[in-house]
Amino acid sequence: MKILREKQVNAFLKFLKTRLAAGGGVEPMVRKILDDVRRNGDRALKKYTEKFDSVKITSFLISKKELASAADKADKKVVRALELSARRVIAFHKKQKEKSWTFSENGITLGQIIRPIERAGVYIPGGKASYPSTVLMTVIPALLAGVKEIALCMPAPGGVINPYSASAIRMLGLHEIYRIGGAQAIGAMAFGTETIKKVDKIAGPGNIYVATAKRLVFGEVDIDMIAGPSEVLIIADKTAVPSFIAADLLSQAEHDEMASAILITDSGLLAKNTAQELASQLTALKRKTIAKKSLGRYGAIIIVKRIDDAFDIANKIAPEHLEIMTAKPEKFLPAVKHAGAIFLGKWSPEPLGDYSAGPNHTLPTGGTARFSSSLGVYDFVKRSSLIDFKKQGFMRLADTVKTLADAEGLEAHGNTIRVRTGKR
């Protein structure tokens, strides 16, 4: 893992952005798959599922019996952990629910009507790894928003349904579950097929093929975000514990080779001790090959003169996860401008947010925390403006509207006022 001084930071940040372009070569293939699904529907889905997942599909829909059979294979301890996590995710996301509102003044009533989208599509990875926690994080906000129809696509390589994902799905009471994945699943939800009804919005993470497909279907449907490789940035002073920092960095590095794990500190001793801890802890990991590549390419320990300087760098990166391990972490909260999720203190490791803390773990990556937020209930609702003028209110603004319409050269706009006032 690289140890950098401040003068080397800009070059590293520039290099870090190259991760966003990595994998861009898949777009032609993804376009071909999407076009095939759009034109040939179920036939295309069967072809790609057999090709990529080694499954010859007779029924896209996973039956209640199949789901139950898979869920019954789950370790009961894991199921209990999922149940506790679900309760916490529900409790947190309930706070995000919005209400319609109106206000009135002298013959004018204005407001905002909050309605759920009618049909949501959720994608759950099921290839190299399965993430039942993602079922909770994507489905619960949609349910709390009031979405009536939720279609979930989840690949089942070799025909095997992951028991833990099945448990989470059963726990939340979903019934429309399809055994398809990849770009073809995104196409099915975006365009609709003979079997799968078109959705209004697609949420959920996936590999580069899924992310590219989501980007390409945006506009046909809405999407939650285009999720990139995982990121954690830790800001720590001399009071931090090197073994804690190393463990937290590795928790992101093990995701995949393109993950980014960065420590910024004003303590040279902490940097040295953390590097030693990383080397020690890395050897014991089952996914050490992945983590080692991630740390070697996109990881760094950055030494700054003042801890305040660390936040300037962090804001340039706008990380998915930001951990602050300083003597008084809350003191630095105002300095954070851009971060998907902020973890304060040494007892708030990032994996708490992945699983059981309560806030959503679907977060903006690749610097998009500058302008976007975590997935939430608000992602599954629409806001319609309400405009209700009585004659008294209309007359108050009639001249203003006519004046502005005329100034913009839109005569017919102005005429809507003139015909009502009799001044044509």
Model confidence pLDDT, tens digit, residues 244-266: 999 999 999 999 899 999 999 99
Q: Which of 164, 193, 223 is the last residue of a domain?
A: 223
- Whether residue 183 sits in one domain with residue 50: yes
Mean pLDDT of 376-386: 98
- Whether residue 147 sits in one domain with residue 61: yes
**Tens digit of pLDDT for each residue in 155-181?**
998 889 999 999 999 999 999 999 999
Mean pLDDT of 318-324: 97
Residues of the chain with pLDDT > 90, as a percent, come to 89
Instruction: Give the pLDDT band of residue 338 (cuts 50, 70, 90).
Output: very high
Does residue 128 surpass a pLDDT of 60? no
Does residue 317 surpass a pLDDT of 60? yes
In a domain, 76, yes or no: yes
What tokens appear for 393 in the block? 């209110």
Mean pLDDT of 309-334: 97
Write down the residue that tokens 């009502």 correspond to: 420
Does residue 328 surpass a pLDDT of 80? yes
In a domain, 385, yes or no: no
In a domain, 349, yes or no: yes
Q: What is the pLDDT of residue 227?
A: 83
**Tens digit of pLDDT for each residue in 228-249?**
889 999 999 999 999 999 999 9
Write down the residue that tokens 């073809």 correspond to: 184
- Whether residue 234 sits in one domain with residue 210: no
- Whether residue 364 sits in one domain with residue 243: yes
Q: What is the pLDDT of residue 124?
A: 95
Residue type at position 283: T
In sequence order, what are the beta bridge partners of 101?
A: 112
Mean pLDDT of 49-73: 93
**Tens digit of pLDDT for each residue in 194-232?**
999 999 999 999 888 999 999 999 999 999 998 888 999
Residue 326 has a CB neighbour count (10 Å cut-off) of 21
For the chain, what is the domain count? Answer: 2
Q: Which CATH number belongs to the domain containing residue 73 in this structure?
A: 3.40.50.1980
Does residue 190 surpass a pLDDT of 70? yes
In a domain, 402, yes or no: no
- Whether residue 238 sits in one domain with residue 117: no
The active-site residue out of 321, 338, 350, 361 is 321
Q: What is the pLDDT of residue 129?
A: 66
What tokens appear for 115 in the block? 């309605």
> Residue 86 burial (CB < 10 Å; 0-12/13-18/19+)?
buried
Instruction: Give the pLDDT band of residue 55 (cuts 50, 70, 90).
Output: confident
∠53-260-31 over CA atoms, to 5°?
40
- Whether residue 131 sits in one domain with residue 75: yes
Write down the residue that tokens 């302008």 correspond to: 371
Q: What is the pLDDT of residue 126?
A: 79
Does residue 394 surpass a pLDDT of 60? yes
* Per-position b or e across 278-316, b if 16+ CB within 10 A of its CB: beebbeeeeeeebbbbbbebbbbbbbbeebebbbebbbb
Of residues 114 and 125, which shows the higher confidence score?
Answer: 114
In a domain, 211, yes or no: yes
Does residue 347 surpass a pLDDT of 70? yes
- Whether residue 160 sits in one domain with residue 275: no
- Whether residue 181 sits in one domain with residue 89: yes
- Whether residue 208 sits in one domain with residue 68: yes
Q: What is the pLDDT of residue 19?
A: 74
Does residue 83 surpass a pLDDT of 90? yes
What tokens appear for 397 in the block? 């603004």
- Whether residue 166 sits in one domain with residue 56: yes
Mean pLDDT of 20-43: 89
The active-site residue out of 320, 338, 350, 361 is 320
Does residue 22 surpass a pLDDT of 80? no
Pairing relationship of beta strands 108-116 and 101-105 according to DSSP bridges: antiparallel
In sequence order, what are the beta bridge partners of 201?
A: 120, 222
Q: Which of 353, 370, 387 is the last residue of a domain?
A: 370
Mean pLDDT of 394-404: 96
Instruction: Give the pLDDT band of residue 85 (cuts 50, 70, 90).
Output: very high
Q: Which of 160, 195, 223 is the last residue of a domain?
A: 223
| The three-state (H, E, C) secondary structure of the chain, written as one string | CEEEEHHHHHHHHHHHCHHHHCCHHHHHHHHHHHHHHHHHCHHHHHHHHHHHHCCCCCCCECCHHHHHHHHCCCCHHHHHHHHHHHHHHHHHHHCCCCCCEEEEECCEEEEEEEEECCEEEEECCECCCECHHHHHHHHHHHHHHCCCEEEEECCCHHHCCCHHHHHHHHHHCCCCEECCCHHHHHHHHHHCCCCCCCCCEEECCCCHHHHHHHHHHECCEEECCCCCCCEEEEEECCCCCHHHHHHHHHHHHCCCCCCEEEEEECCHHHHHHHHHHHHHHHCCCCCHHHHHHHHHHHCEEEECCCHHHHHHHHHHHCCCEEEEECCCHHHHHHHCCCCCEEEECCCCCHHHHHHCCCCCCCCCCCCHHHCCCCCCHHHHEEEEEEEEECHHHHHHHHHHHHHHHHHCCCHHHHHHHHHHHCCC
- Whether residue 217 sits in one domain with residue 240: no
118 part of the active site: no
Structural domain of 294: 2-21+228-370
When the pLDDT of each residue in the chain is averaged and rounded to a whole number, the result is 95
Pairing relationship of beta strands 119-123 and 2-5 according to DSSP bridges: unpaired
In a domain, 243, yes or no: yes
In a domain, 379, yes or no: no
321 part of the active site: yes
- Whether residue 58 sits in one domain with residue 9: no
In a domain, 392, yes or no: no
